[in-house]
């Protein structure tokens, strides 16, 4: 337990304790109910946390343990700026048509290359923007082939959530886990990318079983794809080159930050600043396109969760999990498995961002309890956070919370976006139709994760 | 000036059951871009116009990215149009309507047309369809004062 939490844990059961718990519970319920926009709820919860003195302003804004995680916030903003500029170049649409042509206009190979492309871009950029840029061109390709675009869109959403699991920047839960655990970009790649590759292979196999017979078109339709002039889709060739150049540099920066010791948020901010400058785009227009509601959702959540960390609720939750799973200093197998499956199922129905915002500090508390006997040290030493026995627990949390998003249309933002685009194009995807594909894929990937964690770490 | 002064008393009319090619033939043969859809009792149930036809053949994702239209195959529109061969007016008519009464002021009709981006307003009195007022019919009524 850290000194900050230790100081207030004594207040457990007091008025402040229940106040923080109430703010947390009410905010969580309102977010789940979707009656009020989640950003409004998070900001109101944060305002209550500060206004009712559960957390001081100093703690909320400046405490590394209790406050807003600025490295996550700025990494998100910087990535949004970069992808926004990149999206304006037309490079995504160009790549998609190019790949469809490389697949010789055959629907199933197109589905596979789109699946893999979405997964790779989701690992390097954010999932929502990747599917947002891919969905319209997918509709175009399906339209030209005169086939149902829905299987393509669903598979892209699933691939996006799986691909995003592979890296620190791929999915917001990983960002939050990385920041809390102080794990680096390559830690995520080395520990999660191998299993993500297996999952993507499994997803290809599933799509082959489900769709290969349904996706047949005549040569005339295929010719429509082969005759497309993808060069027309590049709006700004110079901007496309500049964007790719900066993206490659930023990815290299992420990959080497373990040795350069430059934090991912710094690398992303440098990339965003340079791209903004060399793109010569209007700063107002680019910055206006940043998803500020998402950013403020994170800000609000950090303050709310900071409140329940401070009063000791997260420590209580950590003790509860410890009591159930009985981790020892040599093995936390049961803890990993419970966390993997609980996170998976919870993330299918709940927003995984507030979930991980709560669970990441909980795993940190667990590490302190198990490896330091709860001794108060702040910040928590890396030897504790990176103890070989706790590492699989971090990966279990990442895998569960990212992959669970595939279970339902509301499980991940990428799913919501795909459903929205499908509806706008007159092809509504029902909740159940999405689940008919999403749930089996979610369970399949969680089973693969179970075996992976077991074989690699135990 | 009221709506009656600018009202077209014999606009193109159709029924929900009429086939699309029949309607298109009559619309293209007239100077009007919109037809009033009437039920068997002569009550207005909707409007259908050239824009609704275009809306039907232009894919919805065009509003997300106009650039995508540049790589479509040459005969895309013709093929989409052929797909409408067996459709009926009820499949693409607009049911949400703004209407005016014959005694409403012409400025009110012009205001609705401009502010709500309408091309045509049906004129209704006691639930009965009387005719249409269009952008052109308003200008044909008001314009001569300038000339």
Query: What are the φ and ψ backbone dihedral angles of A29, each rounded to 5 degrees?
Result: -65, -40
Does the CB of A37 have a partner CB in chain B at under 8 Å?
no
Write down the pLDDT at residue A376. Answer: 63
Give CA angle at A402 (A137, A439), nearest 5°.
75
pLDDT digits (tens, 9 = 90+) for A18-50: 999 999 999 989 988 878 998 999 999 999 999
Chain A residues within an 8 Å CB radius of B79: none
Reported as a pLDDT band with limits 50, 70 and 90, residue A271 is very high
Tokens of A132: 């947002």
Q: Give the orientation angle of helix A237-255 with respect to helix A70-88, to 10 degrees.
A: 150
pLDDT digits (tens, 9 = 90+) for B60-114: 777 667 788 888 888 888 988 898 899 999 998 999 899 999 999 999 999 999 9
CATH number belonging to domain B3-145 = 3.10.580.10
Q: Tell me the average pLDDT of chain A.
A: 90
The answer on pLDDT for A3 being more than 70 is no
Reported as a pLDDT band with limits 50, 70 and 90, residue A13 is low
Q: Nearest CB to B67: which of A143, A233, A425? A: A233
SS3 content of chain A, % helix, strand, coil (to 5): 75, 0, 25
Test mutation, A93, A136, A240, A426, chain B, max B CBs within 10 A: A136
Share of residues in chain A with pLDDT > 90 (%): 63
* Highest mean pLDDT of the ranges A209-218, A375-384, B2-11: B2-11
Reported as a pLDDT band with limits 50, 70 and 90, residue A60 is very high
Test mutation, A425, A426, A428, chain B, max B CBs within 10 A: A425
Report the sign of the C-alpha dihedral through residues A63, A66, A68, A74, in that order: positive
Average pLDDT rounded to a whole number, residues A421-437: 86
Q: What secondary structure does DSSP assign to chain B, as a single string? A: -BHHHH-BSS--EE-TTSBHHHHHHHHHHSS-SEEEEE-TTS-EEEEEEHHHHHHHHS-GGGGT-GGGGGGS-TTHHHHHHHTTTT-BHHHH-B-----B-TTSBHHHHHHHHHHTT-SEEEEEETTEEEEEEEHHHHHHHHGGGT-
Does the CB of A137 have a partner CB in chain B at under 8 Å?
yes
Write down the pLDDT at residue A304. Answer: 94
Write down the pLDDT at residue A109. Answer: 95
pTM of the complete model: 0.83
Give dist(CA A434, CA A423) in Å, integer: 13
The answer on pLDDT for A11 being more than 70 is no
- A204-213, A328-337, A372-381, A406-415 — which is least confidently predicted? A372-381
Q: What are the sequence ranges of the domains in chain B?
A: 3-145
Q: A232, B67: Cβ pair inside 8 Å?
A: yes
Report the sign of the C-alpha dihedral through residues B27, B30, B34, B39, in that order: negative
Q: In what order do the strands lie in the sheet with B34-38?
A: B13-14, B34-38, B44-49
């Amino acid at each position: 337990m850290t000194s900050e939490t230790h100081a207030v844990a004594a207040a457990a059961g007091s008025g402040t304790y229940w106040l923080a718990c109430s703010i947390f519970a009410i905010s969580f319920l309102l977010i789940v109910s979707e009656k009020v926009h989640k950003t409004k709820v998070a900001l109101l919860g944060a305002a209550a946390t500060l206004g009712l003195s559960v957390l001081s302003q100093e703690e909320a804004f400046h405490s590394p343990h209790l406050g807003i995680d600025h490295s996550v916030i700025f990494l998100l903003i910087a990535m949004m700026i970069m992808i926004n500029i990149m999206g304006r170049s037309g490079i995504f649409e160009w790549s998609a048509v190019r790949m469809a042509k490389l697949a010789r206009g055959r629907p199933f190979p197109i589905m596979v290359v789109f699946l893999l492309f979405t997964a790779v871009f989701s690992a390097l950029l954010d999932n929502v923007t990747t599917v947002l840029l891919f969905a319209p061109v997918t509709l175009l390709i399906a339209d030209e082939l005169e086939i149902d675009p829905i299987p393509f869109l669903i598979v892209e959403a699933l691939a996006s959530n799986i691909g995003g699991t592979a890296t620190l920047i791929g999915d917001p839960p990983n960002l939050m886990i990385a920041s809390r655990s102080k794990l680096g970009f390559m830690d995520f790649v080395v520990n999660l990318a191998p299993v993500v590759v297996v999952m993507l292979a499994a997803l290809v196999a599933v799509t082959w079983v489900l769709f290969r017979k349904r996706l047949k078109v005549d040569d005339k339709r295929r010719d429509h794809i082969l005759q497309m002039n993808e060069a027309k889709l590049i709006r700004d060739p110079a901007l496309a080159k500049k964007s790719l150049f900066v993206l490659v540099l930023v990815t290299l920066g992420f990959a080497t930050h373990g040795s350069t010791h430059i934090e991912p948020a710094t690398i992303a901010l440098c990339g965003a600043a340079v791209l903004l400058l060399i793109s010569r785009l209007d700063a107002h227009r680019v910055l206006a396109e940043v998803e500020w509601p998402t950013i403020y959702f994170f800000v609000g959540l950090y303050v709310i969760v900071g409140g329940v960390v401070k009063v000791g609720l997260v420590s209580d939750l950590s003790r509860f999990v410890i009591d159930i799973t009985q981790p020892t200093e040599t093995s936390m197998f049961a803890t990993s498995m419970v966390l993997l499956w609980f996170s998976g199922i919870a993330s299918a129905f709940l927003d995984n961002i507030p979930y991980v915002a709560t669970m990441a500090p909980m795993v940190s508390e667990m590490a302190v309890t198990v490896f330091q006997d709860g001794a108060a040290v702040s910040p928590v030493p890396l030897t504790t956070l990176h103890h070989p026995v706790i590492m699989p627990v971090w990966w279990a949390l990442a895998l569960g919370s990212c992959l669970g998003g595939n279970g339902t249309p509301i499980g991940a933002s990428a799913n919501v976006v795909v459903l929205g685009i499908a509806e706008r194009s007159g092809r509504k995807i029902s909740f159940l139709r999405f689940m008919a594909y999403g749930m089996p894929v979610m369970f399949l990937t969680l089973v693969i994760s179970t075996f992976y964690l077991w074989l690699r770490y135990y | 000036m009221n709506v009656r002064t600018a009202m077209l008393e014999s606009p193109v009319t159709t029924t929900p059951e009429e086939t699309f090619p029949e309607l298109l033939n009559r619309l293209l043969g007239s100077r009007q871009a919109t037809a009033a859809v009437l039920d068997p009792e002569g009550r207005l149930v909707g409007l259908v116009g050239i824009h609704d036809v275009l809306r039907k053949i232009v894919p919805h994702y065009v509003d997300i990215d106009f650039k995508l239209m540049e790589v479509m195959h040459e005969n895309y529109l013709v093929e989409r149009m052929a797909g409408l061969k067996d459709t009926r007016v009820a499949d693409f008519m607009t049911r949400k309507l703004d209407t005016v009464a014959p005694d409403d002021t012409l400025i009110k009709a012009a205001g609705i047309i401009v502010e709500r981006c309408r091309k045509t307003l049906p004129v209704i009195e006691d639930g009965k369809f009387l005719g249409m007022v269009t952008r052109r019919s308003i200008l044909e009524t008001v314009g001569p004062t300038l000339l």
